[in-house]
Amino acid sequence: MKKPMRSWRGLLIVAAVLIVAAMLLGACGSDDASTDASPTAGGEPKAGGVYNFPLGAEPISIEPLNTQESEGWHVNHQIFQSLYCLQIQSDGTTTKAVPDLAEKTEVNADATVFTFTIKQGVMFQAPVSREVTAQDFVDSWNYNADPKNKSATTYIIAPIKGIDADTGYSEGPQLSGLKVIDKYTFEVTLQYPFADFPATLVHPITQVFPVDYAKEIGRKAFFDKPVGTGPYMVDTWKHNQSITLVKNPDYWNTGDSGNSATAGYVDSISMPIYTDVSTEWLAFQKGTLDYSSLPTGNFKAAQNDPKTQDGTWTVKAYPSTSVYFISVAMNKPTLGGDENLPIRAALNIAADREVVSNIVNEGISIPSDSIVPVTIPGYVAGTNPYPYDPAKAQPKLDEFTGTLPSEIPYWFNSGSGHDKIAQALVDGWTKAMPSLKFKLSGVETNSYWTQAGENKFDGLVRMGWIADYPSIDNFIYLFTTSGGKYGSYSFYSNPEVDKLFEQARATVDETERNGLYNQAEKLILTDAPCVPVYTYRDARATNNRVAGFTYNAFGQINMWDLWVK
């Protein structure tokens, strides 16, 4: 998903038998209690109080059908559940998919058929108040795939047999790849091998909801007050003003104590809408909010604020599943083709990522010469054969035997500081290689992405990608033959990369699968169809009157783990 604005992972202008044991929902925050993912932890959890969390815009949707951006996702995450959820690992950075409502997952030898057994006793919230069955999952996925319901995120379930490749919706009244086996078991048949398919099931479109109830009350009513299985439920949604959630008194997963973190501690969650991040930050400083994003240029000042220094606040940059890179138009003569490889390699060697991250981005981002973020399971550092060493850039450029371009076009979407990043990179390149000249061109965001998709740009093209799911697969795809057109806009194609990608998708063993993806990444970086720059981190401030805060690499906050001290 391209990354210039807040959005759910996907397209952003921001897959012998394997059995996976299920884990408790409470483990979806972290797999290790010692992980430094909870800067405000401390004291004994207690029930009661209100958590004040801002939304940066009116959500597009908060129900599984159409949740597609971070605002809606923050709300949706507290209300709904799916077969899998996201879990921070013990390193405090990596975030992976682990079973949630799935009791057991089985996959056939070529990763085309998955059989899911769901937990028993999972209950829909009131007023539905009945047990979830395998049929409910099948009904939910069929409903979301129905072209009449116009979901914007069916690309996530596109691997399932019965999704039309052209429309992205179901070919018939039901998906042919879904089959109920018994009350708690259903089978999913895919159109092609995809061993990481379970990792995609963290996406809202795969969450379970009572389709019969949604149809009974009608689209608008369910849109405003949807019903899920989670620890919080919708109280009110005052459009363009606020959303209020209240604790689900009949939540199914209460734990042994009857009031575990999985059941939720705070009585309610207040979510006022602030469309301006500076206003949001001011409200946090006044104590109105317990959480805030930070306006550009305020990170270091917030870290040095007396309230941060005395422990009233925590100000931290949390690693994300997003990467920033500069694509190369590989089907254009300026930099594309084998003959221009020395130029592309030299640009990688002289890309001053440290200046971009530490100066332009105030130390928030993580310099990286990889196309895979450090937060993704299976990430391996040091795969780029052209590491930063500006003294070696000119010798590499000297391997070029043709005529250097009079100037190299560098395109970026205007706003959000992309011009400053471009200038910092160009400064590093021209210092190391004075013979290279560049032309910087900013284009209005909507027009920029349209033109990129239409292959209008030559030279260098500013790009960003947010993971749809926690797998290397989602990033290697960007540089497959299909992904080069619609993911990275590099129009790069290498049959060896495509072959490794397909082999990895059909490999059930996770270690072997990631090894194949790593090989594919090394081939891609060797061909240099892009210049990786950094992995994003999200700068956030939290009020330490609230404990139990976690923030995973997808920006999720398990608000049921929070308590007011």
Domains and CATH numbers, the chain: 18-273+545-564 (3.40.190.10), 319-538 (3.10.105.10)
Are the C-beta atoms of 323 and 475 separated by less than 8 Å? Answer: yes
How far, rounded to the nearest angstrom, does the alpha carbon of residue 453 sit from its chain's CA centroid? 21
The whole-number pLDDT of residue 499 equals 98
Identity (one letter) of the amino acid at 343? I
The whole-number pLDDT of residue 263 equals 82
Please give the backbone phi and psi of residue 537, each rounded to the nearest 5 degrees, phi first: -130, 150
Contacts of 468 (CB under 8 A, 6+ apart): 1, 9, 10, 156, 200, 203, 474
Cα separation of the two ends of the chain = 38
Task: For strands 50-52 and 268-272, give the pairing.
Answer: parallel
Contacts of 382 (CB under 8 A, 6+ apart): none
Q: Which residues pair with 564 in a beta bridge?
A: 546
How far, rounded to the nearest angstrom, does the alpha carbon of residue 194 sit from its chain's CA centroid? 19
Rounded CA separation 81/204 (Å)? 8
From the number of C-beta atoms within 10 Å of its C-beta (0-12, 13-18, 19+), residue 476 rates as buried
> What is the residue-level pLDDT of the chain in tens, covering all 565 positions?
444 333 333 333 332 232 222 223 334 655 654 334 445 556 789 999 999 999 999 999 999 999 988 999 999 999 999 999 999 999 888 999 999 999 999 999 999 999 999 999 999 999 999 999 999 999 999 999 999 999 999 999 999 999 999 999 999 999 999 999 999 999 999 999 999 999 999 999 999 999 999 999 999 999 999 999 999 999 999 999 999 999 999 999 976 434 444 689 999 999 999 999 999 999 999 999 999 999 999 999 999 999 999 999 999 999 999 999 999 999 999 999 999 999 999 999 999 999 999 999 999 999 999 999 999 999 999 999 999 999 999 999 999 999 999 999 999 999 889 999 999 999 999 999 999 999 999 999 999 999 999 999 999 999 999 999 999 999 999 999 999 988 999 999 999 999 999 999 999 999 999 999 999 999 999 999 999 999 999 999 999 999 999 999 999 999 999 999 9
